[in-house]
Amino acid sequence: MNPEALSAALLAVIAPLAEARRAGSSEGLTAADLPLDRPKNRDHGDWASNAALKLAKVVGANPRDFAAEIATSLASTPGIAGVEVAGPGFINIRLDAAAAGALARTIVEAGAAFGTNDSQRGQTINLEFVSANPTGPMHIGHTRWAALGDSMARLLLASGATLVREFYVNDAGAQMERFGRSVLAAIKGEPTPEDGYPGAYIDELAQRVQAAVPGILDLGEDEQLTIARDRGYELQLGDLQASLVKFNVHFDVFFSERTLHAKGAAGEPSLVDEAVDRLRAQGHVFDADGAVWVRTTDFGDDKDRVIRRSNGEYTYFAADAAYYLNKTDRGFAHKIYLLGADHHGYVHRLKALAGAAGDDPDTDIEVLIGQLVSVNGARLSKRAGNIIELDDLRDWLGTDALRYSLGRYPADSPLTLDPEVLQKRTNDNPVFYVQYAHARTHNVGRNAADTGVKRDIFAPELLTHETESALLGALQEFPRIVAFAAEVREPHRVARYLEELAGLYHRWYDNCRVTPLGDEEVTDVHRTRLWLNDATGQVLRNGLDLLGVSAPERM
């Protein structure tokens, strides 16, 4: 019996009790209104409900008396071994072994689908994250946003959302011109321009550009600069994309900022041009001092924003507006921006932009700010010279250790990683602890096959050991953990759950054998425990996948 079935059983009991009091209080009541919690002390049962406390006033009853009525009726429900009333009206519920143990088979048969849910169904989401400038390698900050954003996407998709992972490529403006001049200077063997980009990676790009266009220096100056800029950009963007793939981060869309400024073939207005007109039509644009402004203070911004300067040039805010509207045009009713710690000022600006575009800033847009991360002993990149590169970190610590560790903490908390711990093959290393639990489930499966233990019999009523009850209780929680982590955009909840599950599995392993000892015969207990072993491995595997971390079968 899973939590949803138990909540439904509670509703089936409470609705007639409420009606019997002629309160009409069951009208509109659903199973979702009767949440269940896992008691911290397992002696108190498998599940606890505060339904009596929550509804007593509505039905005009003493909470403890109402809880006693509920307990009496609920006790006769198939699959429930006992119901007790505690304190002022809490209801503690204990499932019988067969009802609790049936979950093991459910998980094994569901496979990778176990944990998926419909809590985000109907949500159409554009999730933008990383969005590193294509003028250099990705640094340690991008590493955190990449891990968190990708895990967030996996959670939302597992919870039924329609979602696109998007990388906004800042490939327009003065930075691209500086980048082009830096690459061209390297091709010519000249010093880096004063406002240019230093680093060995620029020299490498210069060599690759020259290899692709051997006669570049025979061309005119303007053409040289264009080729250095555009070919260098293509190569650098390709390097960024390759780094992300190696980090197990995948994007559906790489959106070029240039497309926002591009005119149509017949001179039609650009998306930025259209954005000004569309915002004006919403009634939030005004003209002052020769410039065009958006009255973002109507929506909580600290000041109104210039969208087009008096000289006719657009501001960065204009591109932000065009990009936001373009996301709406592509069918994304909800936009999530995951930005770095230096982008706090964007929160009010983007929410105000949503309001000016006719959306609800409280529901249609989320701006999440990730805090800084550091790694003890990490060295600056030899190629870039002034940053800690994603590729260097991945080569040093490994994708799994980085992905898990970055996903293990809330995005809004500063984080310092200890490489000494992350490279240990001990229980002190959280990712090793969880991965080892998964590998152990496979080792148990291999040993079971060698000794003739198969999943040909399933007798869940035999799963009576206290460690089995605790393990089954944790396995039941996984779909709810996934749904809640998706709702609050917090992948770290999955990581912490996996560590708890791994601990419960290790304790079960120490107490309950899947394979018989010595000359003992294989019994139905062994066969049924193999189901529980494999179910635990499946949930560990599913959870690690949500974090973008591998689940090794041997360690």
Residue 272 makes CB contacts below 8 A (sequence gap 6+) with 260, 261, 314, 318, 319, 321, 322
**288 and 360 part of one domain:** yes
Domain count, the chain: 4
What sign for the dihedral angle of Cα 360, 363, 364, 367? positive
**457 and 539 part of one domain:** yes
Does residue 273 fall inside a structural domain?
A: yes
**274 and 295 part of one domain:** yes
Please tell me the distance from the alpha carbon of residue 443 to that of residue 107, in angstroms, as a whole number. Answer: 19
CA 115 distance to own-chain centroid: 14
CB contact at 8 A, 195 and 142: no
**214 and 294 part of one domain:** no
Is residue 2 over pLDDT 60?
yes
User: Would you place residue 476 in the very low, low, confident or very high pLDDT band (cuts 50, 70, 90)?
Assistant: very high
Q: Which residues pair with 375 in a beta bridge?
A: 417
Q: Which domain holds residue 356?
A: 124-168+251-373
The values of phi and psi at residue 402, to 5°, are -70, -50
Does residue 381 fall inside a structural domain?
A: no
**161 and 270 part of one domain:** yes
Listed residues 195, 217, 246: the one ending a domain: 246
* pLDDT digits 0-9 by tens, 43-60: 778 889 998 888 888 888
Predicted local distance difference test score (pLDDT) of residue 346: 87
**273 and 365 part of one domain:** yes
At 435, the amino acid letter reads: Q
Predicted local distance difference test score (pLDDT) of residue 522: 96
* pLDDT digits 0-9 by tens, 24-44: 555 677 887 787 888 877 777
DSSP, collapsed to helix, strand or coil, labels residue 194 as: coil
Q: Name, of 16-30, 302-316, 369-383, 430-444, the range with top average pLDDT.
A: 430-444
At 63, the amino acid letter reads: P
**136 and 115 part of one domain:** no
Residue indicated by tokens 């210069």: 206
Predicted local distance difference test score (pLDDT) of residue 5: 83
At 11, the amino acid letter reads: L
Does residue 406 fall inside a structural domain?
A: no
Is residue 341 over pLDDT 90?
no
Tokens of 465: 């050991």
Neighbours of 474 (CB within 10 A): 21
Predicted local distance difference test score (pLDDT) of residue 23: 54
The interaxial angle of helices 524-546 and 430-450, nearest 10 deg, is: 150
User: Would you place residue 22 in the very low, low, confident or very high pLDDT band (cuts 50, 70, 90)?
Assistant: low
Listed residues 198, 217, 246: the one ending a domain: 246
Separation of first and last alpha carbons in the chain = 34
Q: Residue 158 is part of a domain; what is its CATH number? A: 3.40.50.620
Listed residues 246, 262, 282: the one ending a domain: 246
Residue 290 makes CB contacts below 8 A (sequence gap 6+) with 310
> Measuring CA to CA, how many Å separate 56 from each of 32, 59, 63, 166, 203?
17, 5, 5, 48, 74
* pLDDT digits 0-9 by tens, 209-250: 999 999 999 999 999 999 999 999 999 999 999 999 999 999
Is residue 140 over pLDDT 80?
yes
Predicted local distance difference test score (pLDDT) of residue 24: 53
**86 and 187 part of one domain:** no
Does residue 12 fall inside a structural domain?
A: yes
Q: Residue 67 is part of a domain; what is its CATH number? A: 3.30.1360.70
* pLDDT digits 0-9 by tens, 143-182: 999 999 999 999 999 999 999 999 999 999 899 999 999 9
Higher pLDDT, 106 or 34: 106
**158 and 114 part of one domain:** no
| Residue 399 per-residue DSSP state | H
Is residue 432 over pLDDT 90?
yes
* pLDDT digits 0-9 by tens, 350-361: 999 999 999 999
User: Would you place residue 86 in the very low, low, confident or very high pLDDT band (cuts 50, 70, 90)?
Assistant: very high
Tokens of 511: 């107490």
**227 and 312 part of one domain:** no
**324 and 450 part of one domain:** no
Please tell me the distance from the alpha carbon of residue 480 to that of residue 195, in angstroms, as a whole number. Answer: 52
At 187, the amino acid letter reads: I
Does residue 332 fall inside a structural domain?
A: yes
User: pTM higher than 0.85, yes or no?
Assistant: yes
CB contact at 8 A, 531 and 524: no
Residue 463 makes CB contacts below 8 A (sequence gap 6+) with 97, 100, 101, 104, 469, 472, 528, 529, 532
Does residue 389 fall inside a structural domain?
A: no
Residue whose C-alpha is closest to residue 54's, from 8, 90, 10: 90
Mean pLDDT of 88-92: 92
Predicted local distance difference test score (pLDDT) of residue 343: 82
Q: Between β-strands 80-86 and 90-95, what pairing exists: parallel, antiparallel or unpaired?
A: antiparallel
**82 and 144 part of one domain:** no
CB contact at 8 A, 492 and 410: yes
CB contact at 8 A, 18 and 25: yes
What mean pLDDT, rounded, does the chain reach? 93
Is residue 342 over pLDDT 60?
yes
Kind and range of the H or E run holding 220: none
